[in-house]
Structure 1
C-alpha cells in the first residue's frame, strides 16, 4: 500500500501536477478529485491535493477532509495566483507551488506529517490538571475550580498548549505556529486578543496562571 495519494483530474498524474514529486522515491497512488476517493484514502500518511485548476473544489475537499472524516494532513498544490485566495479556514496542512523542487516537496511532506504525529501525541494526554484547572483533551472541556468554561476551539487549544509546557516562556510566533498553523498569515496580535479573552473566562481567581513575559510571549504558571 502506498504512503501518499495524489488527488487530481490530470491523466498524467504527478508529472502534470507536481513534477518534482516524480524525482522522489515516494510511493504515491493517484485518485480523482472526489469525496468518495477522499473517504477511500483516510489511512494514507498524507494527501497531496491538486488545487491548480479548480480552487472551489479544492476548498470543498479540504474542508471535508478536516471535518468529520478526520483525514490525514493535506498538502495543497497551487499555482501562484492561488496563494492570493487560499486561507487557513480551508484546512490544508500546508501549501506548495506546482513548480517546487523535489527537496522542498519532501521537506514539506515530512514536516507536515511530523506536526500531525505531534498533535496525535498531545491528544493522547487525555486530562491535564494544573493550578486548579482541568483540561480534558477528548471532551474538549476545561474546568477551573470545578466550573465548566465556555471556550472557543482556539482558546481551548491555546490553553492546552500553554498548560502542556508549564513554566516555559512560549513566544507569540510559536503559539501562532502550534495553535493556528504554519500557513496562518495573521499577525501576533491575534495571540494577544485570544489570551485576553481566555483570561476573562478564567476569572480573576485563575487568570494569573497565564503570565505575560514582556516583548517575548506567555508562560503557564502551574
Structure 2
C-alpha cells in the first residue's frame, strides 16, 4: 500500500480529539492536523499533500467553507468531508468537494475513498495540463482554476456594457472559439477572461491585473471583482451580490459584502478604488472609468 500525506482539518476545539474517521489512524498514512483558521500559514508545507480531510462532524459550517479555504491557501489537493449521520442531510454539490465519508467508516472504505480521490485528481490534472484549461484547484462559484495555459483563447472585453454569455456564435457571444469549436466559458456559463479598461481578470490563471500590476486577492475578493467587472454600470443590492458571489447556501448577513468591498477598494488602490460606488439605500455599482469619490454615496440608481 502506497502511503499518502494527508492534511486533516478540523475545528480548533477538536485538535486534541481522536481522528475522524477513527479508522484513519490504522492505515499508516502520514497525517498532519491543523485548524481551519491556520490554513494560510500552512501554505508552503502543504504543497505535497495528497488528500485533504475536513472533519465537519461537530461544525457543519466547515463543509461549505472548505473549498474556499483551500483555494485561498493555494492548496490543490482533493478534499473529502467527514460527516456524522445527521450531517448527511445537509450535503450539497455546491460544497465542491471530491467525496463525503461517514465518521464510522471502516479502514477498507476509508482507504478506497482516499485512493480514488487522489488518483482521480492526479488523472484530471494530467489530462488538463496541456489543454488550456485549469486543473486541480478546488472551485467555488465560477469554478476558479489553478494557473494554466490560456493559449488559444481571447479575453472578453466588457467595455461599458455587460458581457454577453451566449454559448453560440451570434452577437451575444463574447468568447473566441478554440480548436475544439467550444468557447472559453466556465461551468456557470461565464467568460473565463474579462477585460475592462486597464483591469484584466483571468480565471484560467486565477490572476487579476490592473495596468500590468498584479493584485494580491483572496479567492472571494477575486470572485467579487470578476462579478463587478462582468456587469459594469449595473446596480446590485447586497443580497444580489451575496447570492451571486457567495451562493445560496451561505449562512451570514449582507455585512460581509460591505467588508469585502472595503478590502477590495483598498487593494485596487488609487488607480481604481473609486470604481466601486455605493448606491444609497440600494447597494453597489461598478464603473471602471469613473473617478468619483466613493466616500460620497451616489443618490440615484
Are 2:21 and 1:29 aligned? no
Structure number with larger C-alpha Rg:
2
d(CA) in 1 for partners of 2:180 and 2:64?
40
CA contact (8 A) 2:19 2:25 kept: no
CA contact (8 A) 2:15 2:35 kept: no
Are 2:174 and 1:143 aligned? no
Does the residue aligned with 1:152 lie in a helix, a strand or coil? coil
Displacement after TM superposition at 1:45 (Å): 1.0
CA contact (8 A) 2:132 2:150 kept: no
Displacement after TM superposition at 1:39 (Å): 3.1
Q: Larger helix proportion, structure 1 or 2?
A: 1
* Higher alpha-carbon deviation: 109-118 or 40-49: 40-49
Q: CA, structure 1 residues 29+94, in 2 after alignment: closer, same or farther (shift >3 Å)?
A: same
Unaligned residue ranges in structure 1 (runs of 5+): 129-136, 157-222
Number of aligned residue pairs: 147
Displacement after TM superposition at 1:67 (Å): 6.2
Partner of 1:20 in structure 2? Answer: 23
Alignment of 1:52-63 (within 5 A): 52-63=57-68
CA contact (8 A) 1:4 1:46 kept: yes
**Residue-by-residue CA offset, 1:127-167 (whole Å, 9 max, x unaligned):** 69xxxxxxxx73284626898836333679xxxxxxxxxxx
Partner of 1:5 in structure 2? Answer: 7
Higher RCO (C-alpha 8 Å, min separation 6): 1
CA contact (8 A) 1:42 1:70 kept: yes
**TM-score normalised over the length of structure 2:** 0.42
d(CA) in 1 for partners of 2:21 and 2:121?
22
Alignment of 1:171-210 (within 5 A): none
Q: CA, structure 1 residues 88+148, in 2 after alignment: closer, same or farther (shift >3 Å)?
A: closer
Unaligned residue ranges in structure 2 (runs of 5+): 134-147, 154-175, 191-301
Displacement after TM superposition at 1:6 (Å): 1.1
Residue in structure 1 matching 2:83, options 78, 98, 101:
78
d(CA) in 1 for partners of 2:104 and 2:121?
25
Displacement after TM superposition at 1:70 (Å): 4.4
